[in-house]
Structure 1
Amino acid sequence: MTGRKVAALVGTMVIALGIGSSANASGGDKAEFERILKQQYDAWYEEDGAKFAATFHKDADMVTFNGEHLSTRKGIAEGMQYYFDNYIPTSRLKLVDEHLRYARRDLVVIVRTTCIVETTDCRDGSLSRNTNVLSKRDGKWLQESFQNTRVEPLPPGVVPVPEPKGYTGSIEQIRQRQEDAWYEEDGVKFASTFSKDADLVTFNADHLRTRKGIAERMQFYFDNFIDTTRLETLGEHIRYVGRDLAVVVRTGCQLVPPSTECRPDSVSRNTNVLVKRDGKWTQESFQNTRYVPIP
């Protein structure tokens, strides 16, 4: 198979607010989500790492646009302040669109498209997509995880497939099934590890929605763009929130068989949010970002 080495696919972004699939957030929840978003955007403009991090739970995870993993509210505050002081020019964030979906009454997945504004328009090359997973603990909504990826569009296309049957298992079994599906270039098998209404944001920031949508676009890219490679896990950070919610941040790369060395420029970091139902885990959201170290 020929093609560019890509790990991802094209999805259509829509503005939608949802429960299960999509519906409106309740008035109280909507106000809280808007408050959290406004606080983040204000903190960005004010270059205030602590204020930015205050929108996260104490043990939260954040992966930046360059693939750096910031862990805990304190770590997010310190990491963001370093970025503000050394790399991020004074600017504002602009919301372009968003898709909101409740996975449970106390768990919401929001995929937003945003850009950086220095005057009145989006700065060239600043369009990005981020997955915000918020949970309600002790009656208060805060972010459990956040990951951002710069948008680099790829051609649209799908391979029609039947509705994939869902696969559930342990966290390790789900990871192994995804890695096997990648090597076998099997979009249906890859998508089976996700819930029926799941969200996936690829390394180039394409947003894939629903298990069927993930399967169709993954198969298109396996057939047309993705070279035969294996996925290699280099590191893993697992955090449990209660007994039935897990946030997994993994670092991985691609191997070109029979090589056992990471393919150049293939190291990436992804956030996997999993929910346990009836004793088995399934993925609610996934986002991948290429890792580009910053001093």
Structure 2
Amino acid sequence: MVMALGIGTSAGASGDDGAQFARILKQQYDAWYEEDGAKFAATFTENGDMVTFNGEHLSTRKGIAEGMQYYFDNHIPTSRLKLLDEHVRYAKRDLVVIVRLTCIVEATDCRAGSLSRNTNVLSKKDGKWAQESFQNTRVEPLPPGVVAMPEPKPYAGTIDQIRQRQEDGWYEEDGAKFASTYTKDADVVTFNADHLKTRQGIAERMQFYFDNYIDKTRLKTLGEHVRYVGKDVAVVVRTGCQLVPPSTECRPDSLSRNTNILVRRHGEWQQESFQNTRYVPIP
């Protein structure tokens, strides 16, 4: 089973950590195949957050179990998940960010259109790892390209100040300003599931998007769920949309949900990871 799913000891993690990451992943993949929402949710902390492939926010282990069981019973056909690639990075000794590329297998090969990228954030308490947040986004490839620039100077502040600076960077179409809110080695998964690595990589790729694909719009926050993991880690799940100035109404089909992981060092916050998924309601 482990070999068939491509699961092994996580690259970038050693010893017991890597073994725990692999066990958690295998439990989730087994639960998906068995269509068992409770088993899937058991890998999360009691207050964990999950944003699904369609942008729905499931909150708490109980809510994740109930939401996933509904999807298994009504919308997800019997299938297996396959791991294609993973990127493991420790934000702190007891906080890890894992970005994985996966697909859905119904026979022997990846199902067409099922390629997706997910960000998994795990915390360790009393020697045991569990998931604090998970978000999945379908891959919609865009051509490669970056706008070369030096690494932006870091920006740190309150959680609200960071959100405002990102929104300003988006409206000004300034990749460096947008990226400055992130730690040096941060991870971003975009609306089309592109994985951007490091503050400089985020700046260069976002500038490429601003110059070629993103129309001049403003971001509008419609809702926010903030949860603290200890005193120096925050999980922020936001619901938002895009406005086309001078309109104050959300642009059609622009509703999305994103998970932001922030860490506080020396009294100031910065972002460790971000992932966005378009919201598509399912009955």
Q: TM range, normalised to the smaller chain? A: over 0.9
Q: 1:187 corresponds to which letter in structure 2?
A: G
Q: Counterpart in 1 of 2:90?
A: 102
Show the 5 A alignment for 1:163-202. 163-202=151-190
Counterparts of 1:167 and 1:138, CA distance in 2 = 33
Q: Counterpart in 2 of 1:4?
A: none
Q: 1:256 corresponds to which letter in structure 2?
A: V
Measured against aligned partners, the alpha-carbon deviations of 1:52-107 in whole angstroms (never above 9, x if no partner) come to 00000000000000000000000000000000000000000000100000111100
Equivalent position SS for 1:80: helix
Counterparts of 1:65 and 1:160, CA distance in 2 = 32
Q: 2:21 corresponds to which letter in structure 1?
A: F
Q: Counterpart in 1 of 2:5?
A: none
The reply on whether 1:158 has 2:146 as its aligned counterpart is yes
Counterparts of 2:224 and 2:126, CA distance in 1 = 28
Q: Counterpart in 1 of 2:249?
A: 261
TM-score (norm 2): 0.96
The reply on whether 1:278 has 2:269 as its aligned counterpart is no
Counterparts of 1:73 and 1:248, CA distance in 2 = 17
Counterparts of 1:83 and 1:200, CA distance in 2 = 27
Counterparts of 1:47 and 1:24, CA distance in 2 = 30
Q: 1:98 corresponds to which letter in structure 2?
A: E
Q: Counterpart in 1 of 2:32?
A: 44
2:41 to 44, 47, 53: 53
Q: Counterpart in 1 of 2:105?
A: 117
How far the C-alpha of 1:163 sits from its partner, in A, is 1.1
Equivalent position SS for 1:34: helix
Show the 5 A alignment for 1:1-295. 24-295=12-283
Mark the runs of 5 or more structure 2 residues left unpaired by the alignment.
1-8
Counterparts of 2:233 and 2:151, CA distance in 1 = 25
Equivalent position SS for 1:266: coil
Counterparts of 1:271 and 1:149, CA distance in 2 = 11
How far the C-alpha of 1:31 sits from its partner, in A, is 0.3
Percent identity of equivalent pairs: 84
Q: 1:144 corresponds to which letter in structure 2?
A: E
Counterparts of 1:245 and 1:139, CA distance in 2 = 18
Counterparts of 1:240 and 1:141, CA distance in 2 = 17
Equivalent position SS for 1:265: coil
Equivalent position SS for 2:124: strand
How far the C-alpha of 1:139 sits from its partner, in A, is 1.8
Mark the runs of 5 or more structure 1 residues left unpaired by the alignment.
1-16
Q: Counterpart in 1 of 2:4?
A: none
Counterparts of 1:28 and 1:228, CA distance in 2 = 47
Flag as ranges the 4+ runs of structure 1 deviating above 6 A: none
Counterparts of 1:34 and 1:239, CA distance in 2 = 26
- Greater RCO (Cα-Cα under 8 Å, separation 6 or more): 1
Q: 1:258 corresponds to which letter in structure 2?
A: P
